[in-house]
């Protein structure tokens, strides 16, 4: 069976948690496509060559979740040749047998417009920045909350306004605003949406 769940939205909206939970619940494979861009951004050198030659070692670096990697990813992600180099891998993952969940920014619009389920997960910038800041250690974090908030806004702005594959909901995406939702409720909603299509 081929069945694709596309989960798009901005950073720290809850996409990752929802995607992992949906994949575990239905036995689908999960691909966090942001990691591909993070690995390209952190590899250094020519980003197009980095994207064309991405290895599993690049994808297992332990600094890919850092704020620095997020910013680097967003910068290389504006380059059409970088996006093109990563497209085929994502498309074949999406149509693998047994079902797939992909989370990113352009899965429902560009990578897999034929996905059986499309969710666009959002939350206010303040709430997303607070979640990210708490993950980094809250009061004990190296970065002040305001720095994290400024980075979230900068990344949203770049991801939404780039010319190639900008972040936006597909016309047929189901919108999920997690600002005032518990993660359990958000997961339950996503699971129910997938169940209804299976």
Binding site for ligand DC (CB under 6 A): 11, 33-34, 37-38, 70, 73-74, 77, 104-106, 155, 159
Q: What is the smallest separation between the CB atom of 137 and ligand DC, expressed in angstroms? A: 18
Bridge partners (DSSP) listed for residue 118: 6
- Give me the residue whose beta carbon is nearest to ligand DC: 34
Cα separation, 176 vs 6, in Å, equals 13
Report d(CA 67, CA 151) in Å as an integer.
8
Please give the span between the terminal C-alpha atoms of the chain, in angstroms, as a whole number.
Answer: 10
Of residues 171 and 192, the one with the C-beta less far from ligand DC = 171
Q: Which is nearer to ligand DC, 34 or 47 (CB)?
A: 34
Strand, coil or helix: 31: strand
What distance in Å separates the CA atoms of residue 172 and residue 167, rounded to the nearest whole number? 15
Q: Closest approach of Cβ 83 to ligand DC, in Å?
A: 7
Closest by CA to 8, choosing from 185, 180, 165, 150, is 165
Residue 80 vs 198, nearer CB to ligand DC: 80
d(CA 114, CA 125): 29
CB of 112 or CB of 194, closer to ligand DC? 112
């Amino acid at each position: 069976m081929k069945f694709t769940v596309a989960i798009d939205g901005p950073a720290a909206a809850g996409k990752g948690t929802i995607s992992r939970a949906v994949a575990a619940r239905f036995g689908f494979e999960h691909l966090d496509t942001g990691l591909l861009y993070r690995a390209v951004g952190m590899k250094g050198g020519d980003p197009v060559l980095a994207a064309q030659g991405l290895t599993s070692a690049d994808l297992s670096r332990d600094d890919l979740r850092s704020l620095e990697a997020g910013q680097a990813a967003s910068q290389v992600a504006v380059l059409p040749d970088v996006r093109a180099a990563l497209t085929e891998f994502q498309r074949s993952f999406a149509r693998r047998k047994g079902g797939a969940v992909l989370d990113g920014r352009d899965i429902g619009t560009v990578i897999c417009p034929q996905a059986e389920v499309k969710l666009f997960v959002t939350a206010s910038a303040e709430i997303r920045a607070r979640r990210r800041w708490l993950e980094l250690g809250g009061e004990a974090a190296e970065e002040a909350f305001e720095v994290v908030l400024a980075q979230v806004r900068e990344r949203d702005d770049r991801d939404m306004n780039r010319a190639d594959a900008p972040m936006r909901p597909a016309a047929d995406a189901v919108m999920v605003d997690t600002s005032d939702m518990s993660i359990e409720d958000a997961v339950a909603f996503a699971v129910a949406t997938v169940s209804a299509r299976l």
